[in-house]
Chain A
Amino acid sequence: MKTLSELHLDALTEVFNIGAGRAASSLSEIVGEEVKLSVPRLQLVQPADINMQTLALNSPRLGAVKQQFSGPFDADAMLLFTEERALEIVRDMMGSHISIEELAEYEQDAMCELGNIILNACLSAMADILKISFQSSLPRYVVDSSDVILRQIIKDTNLSIMLALHIDLTIEKHHTQGNLVFLLNSTSLQELIAHIDHFISGI
């Protein structure tokens, strides 16, 4: 059973940064200001090691945008922010003309769209570069206590592996960190490795 080598991780980081660049330009178009997005770090996490520390999200409550991707390999993708950060991002995206009280009603809607843009951009960059294609469910946004969200990740993982992408997002000069998490079962992981190997050998 193969696992992701440093070389694989480097290649994937590059792929996801291309996706992040695409997402940033879509977001800039919506916000009307420059949005910066990058994936500085990619990490492979075993189920036993999934906790708040590995996710580097220290907050009692988390917001998560989820999409299920299927194709040559399947992945549950999830974009995670602390609840406060999620609110700040929505506020920045909507501009200052909206009050914080009004935000709650829009939060879910806007976060779904933000997550959708970032998740699609990363997956489509991967699809383009590895020359494969994916289908996906529509995005769903959930806000809950960190424990509940983590438990769900661990349960979904079901002895599979997690790819955690630390992302940096800058909107209107506000800097935010979040996490993009892909959950893959071992068959899917083997498929992913095979596709990256194929890509690397083709360079």
Chain B
Amino acid sequence: MPPLIIKPDKQALPNDTIWQAIWDNVNLGLILVDQTGRVRQWNDWVAKRSGIPAKSAEGHTLESLFQDELNPPFKSALKNSLTHRLPVVLSNALHRSPLPLFPWPVTERQQTRIQQSIAITPLTGGADEHFCLIQITDTSISIKRERVLKLHSEQLSIDANTDALTGAHNRRYFDERYKIEFNRAQRQGTPLSLLMLDIDFFKDYNDNYGHPAGDKVLIAVVAAIKSQLNRATDVVTRYGGEEFAVILPDCEAPENHAMAEKLRRAVSNLNIPHCKSKITGTVTLSIGITTLECDAKCSADRLLETADTALYEAKHAGRNRVNYLGAAE
């Protein structure tokens, strides 16, 4: 196709040559069928992607040109549009590729049909002549783009909820998840245990060994905690600094005590030297537990405060221990 040269002339409407050029240059498949369903014309876009030149298509029905390659809903849609002269759309979501059209330019690779979105609009050519214009949009690119965007947004939402250093969930995630689990427990009348964990004398560790070493401890502690949690619904989050929160849905005494004890022991068993620890000489955890009992009337904030108080008491009672506190109504 030679480049279009349109002379500025306000008087004249584009002539037939120009209309033909427009018809063949649009980045859209166009098929004009008459009221008997025969192709009157199709544009370059369709010719290239179907492998059938416009001249060979003229005067034939789409069924005879494509035979079994047409999908039945497309045939019905075209028939409906020709009969009732109402516009019809065929979504890519429900049909994918109604027409046997293939990417252009043709490559050596095995060809799969172009993803299509189709609109059929009735046209009146004056007097008693009626036509249908079939417009075909290639949606392959927009579908690919949406896939990429979806992958990106999934990654972003993971990032937004993850603590970059330890890989545990972050505080933002905790706040949301805790609310959801708390409401679920109250609605279903099931118990919910909440554990607050804190690394003993962590500030002293940082001061003595330096921050990079402190970071390694945080990573190791999270890995140790994660290795002990076995249900997908059990959640460990970095609540702040060296403090962690574990949500255990559908869990009450004595299982929550056993779990807390397992976590304490797992960290203690890491045997990470901590010469500034005033108790054991290794890195240890203090843990506060509380439980929302079935049918208890306690607010989410109150339960969280109770777990915090339980942790505070564990610290005062000598650290490296688990302390339980019941949630007051």
Contacts and interface: CB of A to CB of B under 8 A. Distances in A.
Given A105-B146, A110-B94, A138-B121, A116 B76 contact: no
A112 interface: yes
A93 B265 CA distance: 53
A30 interface: yes
Interface stretch (B11-19, B40-48, B59-67, B85-93): B85-93
B89 A124 contact: no
Given A29-B76, A135-B122, A90 B93 contact: yes
B80 A110 contact: no
Interface string A139-161: 10000000000000000000000
Interface in B45-90: 72-73, 76, 80, 83-90
A102 B85 CA distance: 34
A105 B91 contact: no
B91 A120 contact: no
Interface of B: 72-73, 76, 80, 83-95, 117, 119, 121-122, 143, 146, 150
A106 interface: yes
Interface residues on A, range: 20 to 34
B93 A116 contact: no
Contact of B86 (A94, A113, A136): A136
Contact of A136 (B87, B90, B119): B87
Interface of A: 26, 29-30, 67, 90, 93-94, 101-102, 105-107, 109-110, 112-113, 116, 120, 123-124, 127-128, 133-139
A127 B117 CA distance: 27
Given A26-B80, A93-B94, A101-B150, A116 B89 contact: yes
Q: Is the interface of A mostly helix, strand, loop or mixed?
A: helix
Contact of A30 (B92, B94, B117): B94
A43 B174 CA distance: 50
B92 to A, nearest CB: 6
B91 A113 contact: yes
Nearest to A139: B89
B134 to A, nearest CB: 13
Contacts of A116: 87-89
Q: Which of A67, A105, A123, A124 has the most CB of B within 10 A?
A: A105
Given A113-B93, A113-B94, 15 more contacts: A26-B73, A29-B72, A101-B150, A106-B93, A109-B117, A112-B91, A113-B90, A116-B89, A120-B80, A120-B84, A123-B86, A124-B83, A127-B84, A133-B84, A136-B87
B80 A109 contact: no
11 contacts: A29-B76, A30-B95, A93-B94, A109-B94, A113-B93, A123-B86, A124-B86, A135-B122, A138-B87, A138-B89, A139-B87
